[in-house]
């Protein structure tokens, strides 16, 4: 697969960025396979192209000393600590994720931050305000200089939730019929007015605490 990506990059007339982490979390997977250093080191000498992937894990030490030549963007997914504790079972704590962002930036990686999935629990505004404030306080100035953000609201899947309920019986119920609407095939999303209020609030807080950083999208 990597060879195919490299060939595609070399043939392209424009710079391409390849998402390589859509099917698994490569930082977690790397603790078993050690494939990530190999991937980065074998991609670094391409004349064109870049790699990107998201993660919810903080085990990044194995890739800090690599000569990646600035061709890799790592996007750390974050959420309020309360959401991590009640929904994102088995993933790294918020502090570990923030510390990893700082270490990765110091190692020369391009950094993005995913605020995702945004889950509208009862006190969500307070939780996400505290998250944004904490990012502002704990990220290094080097990170804050050019980090970009992606914000993704939760899409509820009835099927996936039933599977997760069996695996994680203590998980909170994410479905709220008062603020969600169907989108087909057992999936639900936040109602238009609820979603718009959420986006407005998050844009305002991001503009306040990260006025010079780009929000790539809010979906």
Q: What is the tens place of the pLDDT at every residue in 177-191?
A: 999 999 888 899 999
Structural domain containing residue 84: 50-218
What is the pLDDT averaged over residues 108-118?
98
CATH code for the domain of 189: 3.80.30.30
Q: Pairing between strand 156-157 and 187-190? A: antiparallel
Residue 5: inside a domain, yes or no?
Answer: no
Residue 1: inside a domain, yes or no?
Answer: no
Residue 44: inside a domain, yes or no?
Answer: no
pLDDT tens-place string over residues 145-181:
999 999 999 999 877 777 667 767 777 889 899 999 9
Residue 109: inside a domain, yes or no?
Answer: yes
Token pair listed for 118: 């945004």
Residue 71: inside a domain, yes or no?
Answer: yes
pTM over 0.85: yes
d(CA 48, CA 40): 14
Token pair listed for 173: 């119920």
* Res 164: pLDDT: 66
Residue 34: inside a domain, yes or no?
Answer: no
Nearest to 213 by CA among 98, 154, 132: 132
Residue 9: inside a domain, yes or no?
Answer: no
Mean pLDDT over each residue of the chain, to the nearest integer: 94
* Res 189: pLDDT: 96
- Give the Cβ contact number of residue 77 at 10 Å: 22
Alpha carbon 141 to its chain centroid, in Å, reads 20
* Res 111: pLDDT: 98
- Give the Cβ contact number of residue 140 at 10 Å: 14
* Res 163: pLDDT: 66
Number of domains in the chain: 1
Residue 165: inside a domain, yes or no?
Answer: yes
Confidence bin at 199 (pLDDT 50/70/90): very high
- Cα-based distances in Å from 122 to 112, 127, 180: 28, 10, 14
């Amino acid at each position: 697969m990597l060879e195919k990506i490299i060939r595609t990059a070399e043939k392209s007339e424009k710079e391409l960025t390849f998402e390589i982490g859509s099917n698994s979390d490569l930082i977690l997977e790397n603790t078993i396979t050690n494939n990530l250093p190999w991937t980065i080191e074998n991609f670094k000498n391409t004349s064109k192209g870049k790699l990107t992937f998201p993660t919810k894990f903080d085990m990044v030490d194995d890739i800090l000393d690599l000569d990646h030549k600035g061709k890799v963007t790592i996007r750390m997914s974050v959420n309020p600590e309360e959401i991590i504790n009640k929904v994102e079972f088995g993933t790294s704590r918020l502090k570990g994720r923030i510390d990893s962002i700082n270490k990765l930036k110091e190692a020369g990686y391009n950094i993005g931050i995913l605020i995702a999935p945004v889950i509208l629990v009862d006190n969500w505004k307070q939780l996400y305000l505290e998250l944004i404030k904490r990012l502002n306080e704990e990220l290094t100035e080097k990170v804050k200089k050019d980090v970009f953000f992606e914000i993704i609201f939760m899409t509820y899947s009835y099927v996936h939730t039933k599977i997760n309920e069996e695996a994680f019986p203590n998980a909170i119920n994410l479905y709220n019929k008062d603020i969600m609407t169907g989108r087909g095939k057992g999936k639900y999303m936040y109602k238009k007015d609820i979603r718009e209020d959420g986006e407005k609030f998050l844009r305002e807080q991001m503009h306040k605490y990260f006025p010079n950083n780009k929000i790539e999208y809010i979906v």
